[in-house]
């Protein structure tokens, strides 16, 4: 990847990093470092040895099954911990974080026009972590969707977390640190699998599916469908569409990784 224009979202091939050759690893790390420094977003491909594409496709199917459930069923799965359980349309409101970037909205109190369900690591009540913030039990629609839905969601979360570990190794090399510098800091991650549904917004009142914001963690891996809608704000103040590219995942650097 050569120095990119601010409107370009680079597509970075992870395959060379997996080959074991140190020079190839450093090359990929430099590409990721440049993307994070220049624009904060990039796409990755050839990740299937860690997170198979069929697992991603299956999760999209499972998401549709979940969001087709009646609202009175979904709200029963509301969590008691942050990033756990179901939340309904309007319950989250990111439009109040950067109000100057959401000025097109007349009523900023309506909240984001999205619904979602969050899961994290399965932590039982016998664990010393249980009940700590961002840690605890998950709520599952087993009665409605069966144990298979739960098992596949847990598996996807584990595979995506493994992919995050690889990205943190790449970040470390890009920062000219030891490849495994982050490993003992992320052995019990607070990572979340966030499953989101953005219905068509009402025509009579402007609503954002999700208000302008930045992610607070190390990084985000996003699987998006062909509908699109995701945008990023460049340093020059220009909104750029992140278009759907088949067989890629979107990665953006979070607030924690941006700290200097």
pLDDT in tens, 67-112: 999 999 999 999 877 788 999 998 988 877 777 776 666 566 778 8
- Note the pLDDT tens digit of each residue in 29-38: 999 999 999 8
Half-sphere exposure of 232 (CA within 13 A, CB side): 21
Q: What is the pTM of this model?
A: 0.91
Which pLDDT score is estimated for 105?
Answer: 60
How would you list the strands of the sheet with 249-253, edge to edge? 11-13, 41-45, 249-253, 219-222
Yes or no: say if 182 and 216 are a contact pair by the CB < 8 Å rule.
no
- Note the pLDDT tens digit of each residue in 188-245: 888 899 999 999 888 887 788 888 888 888 899 999 999 988 999 888 888 899 999 9
């Amino acid at each position: 990847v050569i120095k990119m224009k601010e409107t370009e979202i680079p597509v970075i091939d992870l395959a060379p990093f997996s080959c074991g050759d140190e020079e190839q690893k450093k090359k990929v790390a430099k590409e990721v470092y440049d993307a994070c420094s220049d624009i904060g977003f990039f796409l990755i491909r050839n990740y299937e040895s860690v997170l198979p594409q069929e697992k991603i496709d299956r999760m999209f199917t499972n998401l549709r099954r979940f969001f087709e459930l009646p609202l009175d069923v979904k709200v029963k799965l509301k969590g008691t911990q942050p990033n756990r359980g179901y939340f309904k349309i309007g319950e989250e409101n990111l439009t109040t974080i950067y109000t100057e970037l959401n000025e097109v909205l007349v009523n900023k109190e309506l909240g984001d026009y999205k619904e979602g369900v969050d899961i994290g690591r399965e932590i039982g009540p016998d664990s010393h972590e249980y009940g700590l913030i961002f840690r605890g039990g998950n709520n599952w629609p087993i009665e409605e969707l069966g144990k298979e839905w739960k098992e596949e969601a847990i598996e996807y979360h584990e595979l995506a977390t493994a992919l995050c570990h690889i990205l943190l190794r790449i970040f470390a090399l890009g920062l000219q640190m030891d490849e495994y510098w982050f490993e003992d800091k992320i052995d019990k991650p607070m990572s979340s699998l966030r499953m989101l549904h953005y219905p068509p917004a009402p025509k009579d009142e402007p609503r954002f599916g999700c208000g302008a914001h930045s992610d607070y963690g190390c990084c985000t891996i996003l699987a998006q469908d062909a509908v699109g809608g995701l945008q990023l704000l460049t340093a020059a103040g220009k909104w750029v569409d992140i278009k759907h590219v088949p067989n890629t995942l979107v990665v953006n650097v979070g607030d924690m990784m941006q700290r200097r």
